[in-house]
Amino acid sequence: MAPAFKLASLALLTWLLTAAAPGKPVLPVFPEVRAGQPLTFPADHGSHPDYRTEWWYVTGWLKTEDGRDLGFQVTFFRSRLSVDQRNPSAFAPKQILFAHAGLSDPKVGKLLHDGRMARQGLGLAEAATTDADIVIDDWRLKGGADGRFVAKAAGADFTLDLAFTPSQPVLLQGDRGFSRKGPLPAQASHYYSLPHLRVSGSVLQGRRRVKVTGEAWLDHEWSSTLLDPKAVGWDWVGLNLDDGGALTAFRVRDADGNALWAGGSLRAQDGATVPLGPKDVTFTTERIWRSPRTGGRYPVQRELIVRTPGGERRWRLTPLFDDQELDSRRTGGPVYWEGAVRAPGARGYLELTGYVSPLKM
Amino acid sequence: MPAERRPLSRTALAWMMVGEWRAHPGRVVTAALAIAIGVALGFAVHLINGSAQNELAQAVRTVNADADLQVHATTPLGFDERLYPALARSPGIAAASPVVELSARFGTGPSRSLEGGGLTVLGVDPLRAATVTPSLLGRGAAPAAGAKGFVPESLFDPRAIVLSPAALSASGGKVGEVVTITAAGRTVDFVVAGVLSGAASDPQVAVLDIATAQWLFGSLGRLQRVDLKFASGANPAAVEAALRARLPADAQIVTAQSEARRGDNLTKAYRVNLEMLAMMALLTGGFLVYSAQSLSVARRRPQFALLRVLGLERRGLLAQVFVEGALVGGVGAVLGLGLGLGVAVGTLKFLGGDLGGGYFRGVSPDLVVTPLPILVFFILGLAAALLGSLLPALEAARAQPGIALKDLGDKNDPNAKPAAWWGFGLLAAGGAAAFLPAVGGLPLFGYLSIGLMLAGGVAAMPWLSRVLLSPLQGAGRRNVSIDLALKRLWGAPSQAAVALCGIVASTSLMVAMAVMVASLRGSVDDWLTEILPSDLLFRVESGGFDADTRARIAKAPGVRDILFQKTLPLRLSSDMPPLVLLVRPVDKARPDASLPMIGRILDAPDGVTPVWLSEPAARLYGREVGERMVLPLGGANPQVFVAGVWRDYARQAGAIAIDQSDYTRLTGDDLRTEASLELKPGATPAGAARAIRAALPPDQAAQVQFFETRQMRAIALRLFDSSFALTYALEAIAIVVGLAGVAATFSAQTLARTKEFGMLRHVGVLRRQIILMLAVEGGLLGAVGVIAGLGLGLAMSQVLIHVVNPQSFHWTMETRLPLPLFASLTVALIAAGAGTAVLAGRRALSADAVRAVREDW
Amino acid sequence: MSPAVLSLTALRKSVPGGRVLFAGLNLEVAPGEIVAIMGESGVGKSTLLNLIAGLDQADSGGVAIDGVALESLDDDGRTRMRRDRIGFVFQAFHILPHLTLAQNVALPLVLQNLNAAEATSRAMTILDSIGLPGRAGDRPSQLSGGELQRVALARALVHRPALVLADEPTGNLDPETAARILALFVAEVRGSGAAAILVTHSERAAAVADRSLNLTRDGLVHAG
C-alpha cells in the first residue's frame, strides 16, 4: 500500500468545491472498494477514473555498468476531484495527474527528485483505462502487449528511461486484491503488486548516460476512502527476496506511534502466499536518522518481524544511505522518507511518512 | 598679476547687472518667464509621456506576466483550444500555459464610462501557470522561487478569484468577500481568494480557473492566449520561426519586444507631436529672450562702450552679456522645471496619462521623475537663453568702443536695403522639407519644415516690414505724427525686426495650431454627422444580441428602422496596436450608403470577401483599393479584397469594415453588440428604449446602454476637445508670452528713445503728437507682426494639415480657417503694440525734455 | 629728464573716405605735464585721443605710453593699458545712470579686480576731495552737469593713472561752471602727478595747460 500517502500532497489542495454555475452543482459519486471484485488484466493495469485516488508506484535497485548500486522510484498518481461534473470545458479539473521520480545515488548522498502535475485532458495528461498508460507531458508509464512496462521520467538533475519485465505472476494483496487499511471495512483499496520485475534501461545524470540493470517492484492501488481519521502516517516496506519470494508489510500509525492497522503478504517463490494481518507485522527501531533540514527523526534502520504460519521471520533493514528524505513541501506535497533498503537476503524500498507533521487526507 | 588672467571683474559684472535689473525688472522677468514657460511645457509633456509609457509597459507586464513568448488570438473570439497541446509539444518549448482572456467589469449594470470596465479576466490553469507565469498566481499562496507543480488551492475553486491590487480596490471588496463580475454578457459571483503582487496603479486583473472561465463566460473550446516558456538551450528565434509557420490565421506570436513596439506604436505619433509642440514653445521662448537681450544690448551699447574704454576686455564684455543671459536662462529653467512638474501632476490627475487622448484606458500613471530629463530640460532652457544672448553679445563685443560710446541709435542707413535672401532661403528649404516622407512613421521632416519656415520668416522680417510699410511712405505727409512714425520704422528696420521676431514666432505657431485644430474639428464634426444619422444608439458591452433577440428588438414599438453591428479588436500584426473590425450590414454595390467612402470603390471578384478599410488602416498597413489581404478571422480562406477606403477619425489604429453576413460565415459568431435605430414618427427615445429593454432577456436588459445621437455627438466632440486641451493651453500660453514680449519690447524701445522725444519736443512737436506717433508706430508694428504671423502661420498650418497629420495620425482633413480667432488676434496684437508703446511713451515724456537731450542715455 | 609718459611718432590717420586727417604728427608728453590740444571741428582731435587710448588705429606711426608701443599690443593688451595707465574725462560725462556715484567712480578699480569694499572706499575718499562729500550713495540723476563732471574727474583719477585724456570736459557746461571745473581739473591732475591731454575749443581752457598745441593736417604746432 506504500504510496497511498502521496495523495496527502493533494490534501493540501482542499477541493471543497462549490459550484459557481447556475443551479446546483453535480458532484461526482465515488464508488467504494468492495471485496470480491475480481481483477482482470490488462484492463486493471489501466486507470480507474471513478475512484478518488489511484497510483502506480515503481521502486527498485539498479546496478550500473561499473557496478554501483542506485535506488529509484517512479510514481504516477491520479486524483479525481470533487468538482461540478456539468462543466463541459476540456480543462475542467475532474482528474488531476501527477508524478514523482527519485534517484538514490550514494555518491550524491541525498535523494534527487522531481515531479510533474497536470489536469487530465487535451492529450497532454491522460490515463488510459484499457492498460497501464499514464502520460504527463514528457513523463510516461506504459504497459505493452508483451506484458512489459516502460517508464520515462526526465527531471532537472536526472532522467530515468527504464523497461520492466515481469518474471512472476501478479501478486494480489489482501483478499484477492481487496486490501484493508483501517479498522472499518470501507478503509480499503484495490491493491496488487508485481515484484521481481527485471529492469533494463539507462539513467542520465548530468551529461552522463549509464546503462543499468536491476530488480524492481510495481504497486498499483486505487481507492475512494483510505485512511482512518486518527492515522498520522505509516511505514511500508516491499522486499524482493533473493530466493524469489516477495514480502509486503505496512502499518498505519496513530499520533502515539501505535499501529492502527497493519498488514501485508509474504509470497514464496512457488507462489504460495501468506496474507498478513494486523497482528502479524511488527517494526522495531534500531537507529534513528535526524534530518538536518527538517528536523524529522526517521527510524531508518529497523527490524521487521513477521509472524507466519511457519513461524516468526525477521529482516534487519539497512538503508542504502541515510539521507533519502524527500521534501516536496515546496511543490505542495509532504515531507517523507522514501529509500532503498537492504536486508540479509533481500532488497527493497522503505517508506516512512508522518514523521515531520501528520499526514492529512 | 592674477588680475591679468581674470578678464571678468565680478564686482563690475554684479554692479552692471543689478543696476540694469533694478532699472528694468519687467524685461528680465519677461525673458525668464519665456524660458520658464518653454521649459515647463517641454518638461511637463515629457514627464507625462514618460509616466504613461512606464504605466503602459507595466500594464503589459502585469497582464502578460513573464512568459518568454506568447501566442495571442487576433480577435477576442480566440482560437481553437487544440492549438494549445500542439504548441506544448512543439520542439524547444519547455512549458505552455493556456489562458482565457476576457474584458470584463465589476458589477452587473452597464459601466458608467464609454470606455468599458477596464477589468481583464484571465482564466489560467494554475498547474501550468506555476511554471510559465508564476506572477499570475496569488500573493501569499505563492511559494519560494522555482516552485514547480505548486497548486494554489484557491485557483481550483470555481468560486475563487484572485485580484490584482487595482482590481481589488476597484471592486470595493476585500479578501474573503464576494465580488460580482460581468464578462461576455454573463454575470457571476466570486469570492476573493487572494491578491496578485504588484502596484495599485497596475491594471485591473482578475485570475480564475481556466475551466471556470471557459464554462461560465461562454468561451468553451476557445483560448485567447497561450504563454510559452522556452526549453533551456533552445534558440528563441528558431523556435519562434517554427511556431509561426504552424499557427492558424487567427493566432499570432507576441513577444515582450513586439508588445513593447505595439505600445510604442500606439502612442508614438501622439507623444512625438506633443514633444515637438513643447519644443516649439521652448523655441518661442528662445526668440523672446533673443529679442529682449538684443534690445537690451542695443540700448546699453554706449554703456558697454564706456566699460570697454575704461578697461574692460572684449572677453569680459562678452562674458558680461553671456552671464546675464545665463542667469536669466538658469532662473527661467529652474522656474520652468518646477512649473512643469506642477503641470504634469495636475494633468495626470485631471486628464490622465494620455492628456485626454484616450490611449491608456484604465491606467492611472504615477509620476516618474528621473534626474536625466531634469538636467536635459535645464540645459535646453539655458541653451535657449544663451543662444538668444549670443548674437547680441557678439555684437556688443565687436563694436568699436570709441564710436559706440557716442552712438545714438540704429546704425542702419535708411537707404540700405535689408538683406532678405537668407530668410527666403530658409523659407524655401522649409517648403522643400515638407515634401519629404516620414521617418520611422514620424513626420520629422514636417517639423523640420515648420522650424525652417519659422527661422526664415523671422529672418525675412526686416525686409518684410519695409515692403509692408513702403506703400504707406507717402501716406503720412499731412500728419507729422504718422510721418515721423513711418520714417522711424522705415529707417530702423532691424530694430523693428527685433521687436517683431518674438511676436511673429509665437503668433505664427499659434495660428498654425489653431488652423490645424479648427480643420480637424470641422472635419470630425462633418464626419460625425455622416456616421451618426440615426436617432438612438444602444449597445451591450459584453456578450451580444442573438438573432432571436434582434428580431424581437426590431419589432419593439417605436422602432422604425434598425441596424445592428459589432465591433471587436483585431490584431493584424504583432507590432501594431489592434485595429477595429466593424461588422455591419454593408451594401456591396453601394458601400457609400453605409460608410463615408473616399476615393475609388471596386467590386470584389466572385468568391472573394470584400472589406472596406478606414483611412488610417489603409495608410498604416499600406493597403490600396483593389489589393488582397489576409483577414485573420479563421475560416478556410482568410483572403479578402480591399473594396474601398472610408474616412474615420475615431479609430486611430485603423478599422476594417466587413459585411455582417460575411463575418458570420467566416467566424460562426452571430452575436451583435451595437445597434442604431430610427424612431417612428411621434416615438420618443425614452419610450423606444423602454420598449427595447422589455424585448431583451432580463440580465441583458440590465446591461444595455442607450445613447441619443445628439448625446453621442456631444460626447464625441467633448472627447475631441479634451484631447486637444493641452493644445489649447499651449496656444493660450503662446499668445500670452507673445503679447508679454510685445509689451516688453515696445516699452523698452520707447524708453530708450527718451532723448529723441526730448529733441522733438525742443523743435516744437506737441506731446500728444509724440503719443500719436508712438501709437501709430506700435500699431503698425503690431499690424506687420499680425500679417507676417498670419502668413507664416497659414503656411505652417498647411504643413501640419497635409504633412504632419497624414504622416503621424494617418488621416486627412480639409483646411478651415478660424476667422474669429484671427480677427481677435489681429485686434489684440495691434492694440497691444499701440497701447504699450503709448504707455511707455507717457513715461518717457514725463522726464524733463531739456535734460533728456543733454543725457547720453 | 624722465622718460615721456606719452610719445607719438610720425602719426598718420585718414578717415574711411580717404581724407587724411593728419600726418607726420609727433608729440612727447613728460610726466605731470598738461598739454592742451586745440583745433577746428572735424580736424580729428577726438580721433587723436582715440589713437592715444588704443581705441583706434593709426595708418602709420607709433603711439607709446610709458615707453610701451601700443602697436605691439593686442586688443586685450591695449585694454589693460587703458585700464591701468589712463583716465578719461568726456564732454558728455558718461556717468552710468543706474550706479551710485561711488560705484561710478570705483569702476576703474573694480575693473582692475580690486574688491568692491576697497574700491568704494577709495572712491569715497576722492569724491570727498573733489567737493562731493557725503554724496557717494546718490544716483547720477540727482546731479547737475557740473557735479557730474566732478564725478567723471574723480573716476579719471581714482586709479592713479599716468595719463588723463580729457575730451572737451567743459563743453557741456555753462561758462561759470566750466571755469570751476577747469580749475578743479588742473588742481587734481597736478595733485595726482599725472600727465594730461586736454582737447578743447576754449582758449581759456588751453591757457591753464603747460603747453598749448594746434592740431592741423601737418601735425601739432604751437598755438599762440
Q: Degrees (nearest 5) of the Cα angle B523, B529, B532?
A: 130
- pLDDT tens column, B392-439: 788 777 777 766 566 444 444 445 555 678 788 888 998 898 888 888
Q: CA dihedral defined by B62, B65, B71, B73, rounded to 10 degrees?
A: -30
Chains that contact C by 3+ CB pairs under 8 Å? B
**Nine cell digits for residue A138:** 514528457
Mean pLDDT of B514-541: 79
The minimal CB distance from A13 to the residues B146, B156, B216 is found for B156
Strand pairing partners for B539? B674, B705
Q: Which residue has the cell 517512479?
A: A74
Q: CA dihedral defined by B218, B222, B224, B228, rounded to 10 degrees?
A: 140
Highest mean pLDDT among B44-48, B408-412, B726-730: B44-48
CB-based contact (8 Å) between A338 and chain B? no
CB-based contact (8 Å) between C73 and chain B? no
pTM: 0.64
% of chain B at pLDDT higher than 70: 77
How far is residue B659's CA from residue B653's CA, in Å, rounded to a whole number?
20
Q: Which residues in chain A have their CB less than 8 angstroms from residue B88's CB? A: 124, 137
How far is residue A6's CA from residue A353's CA, in Å, rounded to a whole number?
9
Judged by average pLDDT, the poorest of A265-274, B577-586, B832-841, C21-30 is B832-841
Identify the band that residue B509 occupies on the pLDDT scale cut at 50, 70 and 90. Answer: confident
Q: Do A84 and B158 touch (CB under 8 A)?
A: yes
Closest CA to B672 of B494, B551, B755, B764: B551
Q: How far is B250 from chain A (nearest CA, A)?
A: 20
How many CB pairs below 8 A link A and B? 97
Q: Is A318 helix (H, G, I), strand (E, B) or coil?
A: strand
pLDDT of residue B412: 44
The upper half-sphere exposure of residue B475, i.e. CA atoms within 13 Å in the direction of its Cβ, equals 12
Q: How far is A39 from chain B (nearest CA, A)?
A: 33
- pLDDT tens column, B597-651: 888 888 888 888 899 999 888 888 888 899 998 888 866 667 899 999 998 877 7
Task: Give me chain B's average pLDDT, please.
Answer: 77
Nearest CA in chain A to B124: A91
Q: How far is C111 from chain B (nearest CA, A)?
A: 5
Identify the band that residue C216 occupies on the pLDDT scale cut at 50, 70 and 90. Answer: confident
pLDDT greater at residue C125 or residue B151 = C125
Q: How far is B380 from chain A (nearest CA, A)?
A: 55
Residue B583, pLDDT > 70, answer yes
Strand pairing partners for A104? A71, A111
Q: Do C111 and B310 touch (CB under 8 A)?
A: yes
Q: Do A122 and B156 touch (CB under 8 A)?
A: no
Q: How far is B283 from chain C (nearest CA, A)?
A: 32
Identify the band that residue A22 occupies on the pLDDT scale cut at 50, 70 and 90. Answer: low
The minimal CB distance from A331 to the residues B81, B82, B149 is found for B149
Q: Which residues in chain B have their CB less than 8 angstroms from residue C84's CB? A: 311
User: How many of the other CB atoms lie within 10 Å of CB of B450?
Assistant: 28
Count, residues in chain B: 857
Q: Which residues in chain A have their CB less than 8 angstroms from residue B211's CB? A: 87, 89, 91-93, 119
How many CB pairs below 8 A link B and C? 91
Residue A241, pLDDT > 90, answer yes
pLDDT of residue A173: 93
How far is residue B793's CA from residue B335's CA, in Å, rounded to a whole number?
29
Q: Which residues in chain C have their CB less than 8 angstroms from residue B308's CB? A: 79
Q: Do C107 and B310 touch (CB under 8 A)?
A: yes
Q: Which residues in chain C have their CB less than 8 angstroms from residue B852's CB? A: none
Task: Give me chain A's average pLDDT, please.
Answer: 87
pLDDT of residue A291: 93
Q: How far is B564 from chain A (nearest CA, A)?
A: 30
How far is residue C136's CA from residue C120's CA, in Å, rounded to a whole number?
9
How far is residue B786's CA from residue B504's CA, in Å, rounded to a whole number?
7
Cα distances (Å, whole numbers) of residue A60 to A206, A325, B529, B820:
21, 16, 81, 94
DSSP single-letter state for residue A330: G
% of chain A at pLDDT higher than 90: 58
**Nine cell digits for residue A301:** 534502520
B186-211 exposure pattern, b = at least 16 Cβ within 10 A, e = fewer: bbbebbbbbbbebeebbbbbbbbbbb
How far is residue B485's CA from residue B477's CA, in Å, rounded to a whole number?
11
> What does DSSP say about strands B628-630 and C195-199: parallel, antiparallel, or unpaired?
unpaired
The minimal CB distance from B313 to the residues C79, C96, C107 is found for C79
Cα distances (Å, whole numbers) of residue B150 to A349, B96, B131, B232:
27, 16, 9, 21
Q: What is the DSSP string of C178-192?
A: HHHHHHHHHHHHHHH
Q: Do B309 and C55 touch (CB under 8 A)?
A: yes
Ranges of H-type helices in B643-766 = 660-667, 685-695, 698-701, 709-723, 725-751, 754-762
Mean pLDDT of C183-208: 88
The minimal CB distance from A118 to the residues B127, B147, B220 is found for B127
Residue B151, pLDDT > 50, answer no
A260's torsion region: left (phi>0), alpha (psi -120 to 50) or beta? alpha
pLDDT of residue B154: 45
Q: Which residue has the cell 530629463?
A: B373
Highest mean pLDDT among A149-158, B234-243, B462-471: A149-158
Identify the band that residue B6 occupies on the pLDDT scale cut at 50, 70 and 90. Answer: low
Q: Do A17 and B156 touch (CB under 8 A)?
A: yes
Interface test with C, best of B310, B398, B855 (most C CBs within 10 A): B310
Specify the DSSP element, H or E, that contains C197: strand C195-199
CB-based contact (8 Å) between C177 and chain B? no
Question: Under an 8 Å CB criterion, which residues of B touch C?
Answer: 2-4, 6-7, 9-12, 14-16, 19-20, 22-23, 302-303, 306-315, 400-402, 405-406, 854-857
Q: Are B562 and B676 in contact (CB under 8 A)?
A: yes
pLDDT of residue B182: 84
Closest CA to B619 of B799, B437, B800, B795: B437
**Nine cell digits for residue A21:** 454555475
pLDDT greater at residue B190 or residue B703 = B190
Identify the band that residue C37 occupies on the pLDDT scale cut at 50, 70 and 90. Answer: very high
CB-based contact (8 Å) between C108 and chain B? yes
pLDDT of residue B540: 80
How far is residue B473's CA from residue B457's CA, in Å, rounded to a whole number?
23
Q: Are B313 and B405 in contact (CB under 8 A)?
A: no
Q: Do A119 and B127 touch (CB under 8 A)?
A: yes
Nearest CA in chain B to C161: B310
ipTM for the whole complex: 0.90
Do B and A make contact via 3 or more CB pairs under 8 A? The reply is yes
- pLDDT tens column, B747-770: 766 766 776 777 777 777 777 888
Q: Are B826 and B818 in contact (CB under 8 A)?
A: no
Identify the band that residue A71 occupies on the pLDDT scale cut at 50, 70 and 90. Answer: very high
Interface test with A, best of B212, B219, B228 (most A CBs within 10 A): B212
Mean pLDDT of A266-271: 92
Q: Is A198 helix (H, G, I), strand (E, B) or coil?
A: strand
Q: Is B458 helix (H, G, I), strand (E, B) or coil?
A: helix
pLDDT of residue B652: 72
Q: How far is C224 from chain B (nearest CA, A)?
A: 30
CB-based contact (8 Å) between C15 and chain B? no
Q: Degrees (nearest 5) of the Cα angle B177, B178, B179?
A: 120
Residue B201, pLDDT > 60, answer no
pLDDT of residue A324: 93
Mean pLDDT of B124-147: 60
Q: Do B15 and C111 touch (CB under 8 A)?
A: no
How far is residue A73's CA from residue B783's CA, in Å, rounded to a whole number?
95
Q: Which residues in chain B have their CB less than 8 angstroms from residue C96's CB? A: 16, 19, 303, 306
Q: Do B19 and C84 touch (CB under 8 A)?
A: no
Q: What is the 3-state secondary structure (H, E, C) of C38-96?
A: ECCCCCCHHHHHHHHCCCCCCCEEEEEECCEEHHHCCHHHHHHHHHHHEEEECCCCCCC
pLDDT greater at residue A198 or residue B541 = A198
Residue A215, pLDDT > 90, answer yes
CB-based contact (8 Å) between A80 and chain B? no
Q: Is A163 helix (H, G, I), strand (E, B) or coil?
A: strand
Which residues contact residue B157 at a Cβ distance below 8 angstroms, ignoring those fewer than 6 apart?
Answer: A16, A17, A18, B191, B193, B209
pLDDT of residue B153: 42
Interface test with B, best of C48, C113, C143 (most B CBs within 10 A): C113
Cα distances (Å, whole numbers) of residue C197 to B218, C41, C79:
107, 17, 19
CB-based contact (8 Å) between A116 and chain B? yes
pLDDT of residue A360: 54
Which residues contact residue B724 at a Cβ distance below 8 angstroms, ignoring those fewer than 6 apart?
Answer: B356, B517, B521
- pLDDT tens column, A85-112: 888 999 998 898 888 899 999 999 888 9
Q: Which residue has the cell 470480491?
A: A36
Highest mean pLDDT among A40-54, B54-68, B686-700: A40-54
Highest mean pLDDT among B51-55, B388-392, B588-592: B588-592
pLDDT greater at residue C132 or residue B3 = C132
pLDDT of residue B303: 82
Q: Degrees (nearest 5) of the Cα angle A96, A100, A101?
A: 155
> What does DSSP say about strands B204-209 and B119-124: parallel, antiparallel, or unpaired?
parallel
Identify the band that residue B853 occupies on the pLDDT scale cut at 50, 70 and 90. Answer: very low
Q: What is the DSSP string of A218-249?
A: EEEEEES--S-TT--EEEEEEEEETTS-EEEE
DSSP single-letter state for residue B142: -
pLDDT of residue B417: 58
Which residues contact residue B122 at a Cβ distance below 8 angstroms, ignoring those fewer than 6 apart?
Answer: B63, B99, B100, B101, B136, B205, B206, B207, B208, B213
Q: What is the DSSP string of B618-645?
A: HHHTT--TT-EEE--S-SS--EEEEEEE
Task: Give me chain C's average pLDDT, please.
Answer: 87
Identify the band that residue C162 occupies on the pLDDT scale cut at 50, 70 and 90. Answer: very high
Closest CA to A33 of A201, A299, A263, A226: A226
- pLDDT tens column, C87-144: 988 888 888 888 889 999 998 888 888 888 898 999 999 998 888 888 888 888 888 8
Specify the DSSP element, H or E, that contains A116: strand A111-119
Q: What is the 3-state secondary structure (H, E, C) of C125-140?
A: HHHHHCCCCCCCCCCH
pLDDT of residue B142: 35
How far is residue B457's CA from residue B511's CA, in Å, rounded to a whole number?
14
Chains that contact B by 3+ CB pairs under 8 Å? A, C
How far is residue C97's CA from residue B641's CA, in Å, rounded to a whole number?
81
Q: Do B188 and A20 touch (CB under 8 A)?
A: yes
The minimal CB distance from A119 to the residues B81, B125, B220 is found for B125
Q: Do B11 and C50 touch (CB under 8 A)?
A: no
How far is residue A275's CA from residue A172's CA, in Å, rounded to a whole number?
10
Closest CA to B798 of B416, B412, B386, B453: B453
CB-based contact (8 Å) between C107 and chain B? yes
pLDDT of residue B358: 47
Do C and B make contact via 3 or more CB pairs under 8 A? The reply is yes
Which residues contact residue B686 at a Cβ distance below 8 angstroms, ignoring those fewer than 6 apart?
Answer: none
- pLDDT tens column, B338-374: 988 888 888 777 665 554 444 444 445 567 777 888 8
